[in-house]
Amino acid sequence: MRLLCVTAHPDDEAASFGGSLRLYHERGIETAVLCLTPGQAASNRGPARNDQELSAIRRQELAASCALLGVSRHLVLDYSDSKLHRLDLYAVVEAVTRYLRDFRPHVMLTFGPEGAVTGHTDHSMASVFTSLAFEWAARSNRYPDHFTQGLQPHRAQKLYYATANFTLPGRPPIAPAPTTAVIQIGDYLQTKIAAFQAHTTQAPVFPTVIPAILARGREERFHLAAASEPSDLRMETDLFEGIRQDG
Ligand SMILES: [Zn+2]
């Protein structure tokens, strides 16, 4: 079975989803990360002299992080960091839908519209694009040109938003989605921190971000935002609960 995680910046995959990505890899799930920007607007830039150099370095850092997390495949798109809200919505959803129809995940992960604990606008937009792609990938009247390129409609079974049971001091107000799934990541907490530290250009933020990762403890929290089978909400401990192999 397959799990797709859609993020906005290199390092999101580790900080917000890393424990679950590694856990499901260990359970035999094929995992993928689609990152919408190469993170070229970061204030911490390592040795990079311009945006192109920073993009190239951060793509390598993402590859190193994904290797630690056991991610089967990853792709970084070329959208501009911190400008996702300026883009043409239908065009970006097309790119996410194309990836979805190719990888054909059973379960999808992204941020909530609040933008995660940082409230970053790019995280919010990743949520919007991914939520629409989750719905539209299954519909034959959306992006039908895909079907002349070897792709078929695909209906993923569940969409989860990452969420948290805390907020960060000094950040803009956020209204996170309530937790409906708690995933115990155990010692993969250490793997997740190591994957975050693979983003070496971001070393100046390690002292602030790693305590936030530790604040989540050995668990990651999610909100079931959509499911192909209508159901009542209940607490889950497994993102693949009720998932059909042939779906
Ligand atoms: Zn981010």
Ligand 1 center to 242 CA (angstroms)? 30
Q: Summarize pLDDT for 136-176 with one digit per residue, the tens.
A: 999 999 999 999 999 999 999 999 999 999 888 888 899 99
Tell me 66's DSSP state. Answer: H
Give the number of C-alpha atoms closer than 13 A to the C-alpha of residue 217, restricted to the C-beta side: 8
Ligand 1 center to 233 CA (angstroms)? 28
φ, ψ for residue 36, nearest 5 deg: -75, -25
| pLDDT of 4 over the 80 cut | yes
Q: Are 2 and 29 in contact, with CB atoms under 8 Å apart? A: yes
Ligand 1 center to 7 CA (angstroms)? 7
Q: Summarize pLDDT for 177-199 with one digit per residue, the tens.
A: 999 999 999 999 999 999 999 99
Ligand 1 center to 9 CA (angstroms)? 5
Ligand 1 center to 221 CA (angstroms)? 17
Ligand 1 center to 184 CA (angstroms)? 23
Ligand 1 center to 128 CA (angstroms)? 15
φ, ψ for residue 220, nearest 5 deg: -130, 140
Ligand 1 center to 13 CA (angstroms)? 9
Give the residue-averaged pLDDT of 79-106. 98
Residue 167 is predicted with a pLDDT of 87
Average pLDDT score, the chain: 96
Whole-prediction pTM: 0.97
Ligand 1 center to 246 CA (angstroms)? 33
Whole-number percent of the chain with pLDDT over 90: 92
Amino acid occupying residue 65? S
Confidence band, pLDDT 50/70/90 cuts, at residue 229: very high
Residue 170 gets the label, from left (phi > 0), alpha (psi -120 to 50) or beta, of left
Residue 221 is predicted with a pLDDT of 97
d(CA 241, CA 107): 10
Residue 247 is predicted with a pLDDT of 61
Give the residue-averaged pLDDT of 65-69. 98
DSSP alpha helix (H) spans, 111-241: 121-136, 188-197, 206-216
Give the residue-averaged pLDDT of 9-25. 97
Whole-number percent of the chain with pLDDT over 70: 100
Ligand 1 center to 123 CA (angstroms)? 6
Q: Which helix (H) or strand (E) holds 223?
A: strand 219-227
